[in-house]
Structure 1
């Protein structure tokens, strides 16, 4: 059964958490698709992935429906495609997980300071619990992840 991991942001913003998770994904030899909830946030996340660290490089691109999309280790998108054959799909900035086939892992990252996002996360948990193996991770005060469920 596919794993669906819920990451509840409390202390560190998405722009600092997502690059670390994507680096770990690449270290495992996986490709990733990052589904973003809006076109404007997609551009902001793209920029953040290029500039998050002076001593690190995270290869990625924005999906453009072009041939080069297939070779990208990390692909940002606003849609539901998987042109790079990703094993893991991230849902960020209010992109909502749904039942999908062909992934080893799904990761849903939501902002704990946005009451609407928390409400949506609870609904996604209830809806997808019968379909996936769910785990819930929450940031502690130091920004480290603690498994809660």
Structure 2
């Protein structure tokens, strides 16, 4: 399984999440976006509706009805009501339940750097996990060392 660490630096999360979610949807996969705080889920919900005027990214919030039909589902827990095999941990909090998915997008900022390093070390010890680190370089994501 693959775990992609995305260190947010300079670009707000409400810009990053729709970009990554769109790329996942373009592959035909479903995505579960997890954040513990309702305020962050609301911000991401709004961002997914408004990120590009020319396109629509089907999504919904868990528990609002038709979870199973959503390409992208926002939730406060890592339970894929939409049968997603990809999960995005958008609040910087690592959750071991994410290891039950095929791919994890773990987003963190400077404030969560120590937690991300701890998660990296833990995942490096697992044979079945391939952690990868991504950082921004002039507005584009580049895989780092």
TM-score using structure 2 length: 0.91
Q: Residue in 2 aligned with 1:128?
A: 123
Structure 2 unaligned runs (5+)? none
Structure 1 residue 120, shift from structure 2 partner: 0.9
Distance 2:130 2:13 in 1: 23
Distance in 2 (CA, whole Å) between partners of 1:46 and 1:99 is 22
Distance in structure 2 (CA, Å) of the matches to 1:44 and 1:16: 10
| Residues 86, 54 of structure 1: alpha-carbon distance in 2 compared, 3 angstrom cutoff | same
Two-structure CA RMSD over aligned residues (Å): 1.5
* Cα contact 1:91–1:109 (8 A) shared by 2: yes
The 3 A distance-change label for structure 1 pair 99 and 83 is: closer
How big is each residue's C-alpha offset from its partner over 1:36-64, in whole Å with a ceiling of 9 and x where there is no partner? 13111111111111112221211100001
Instruction: Output the TM-score relative to the length of structure 1.
Output: 0.89
Q: Distance in 2 between matches of 1:98 and 1:65?
A: 25
When the two structures are aligned, how many residues end up with a matched partner? 143
Extract unaligned runs of 5+ from structure 1. Answer: none
Task: Give the Cα separation in 1 of the matches to 2:28 and 2:103.
Answer: 13
* 1:1-149 to 2 correspondences below 5 Å: 2-64=1-63, 66=65, 68-112=66-110, 114=111, 117-131=112-126, 132-140=129-137, 142-149=138-145
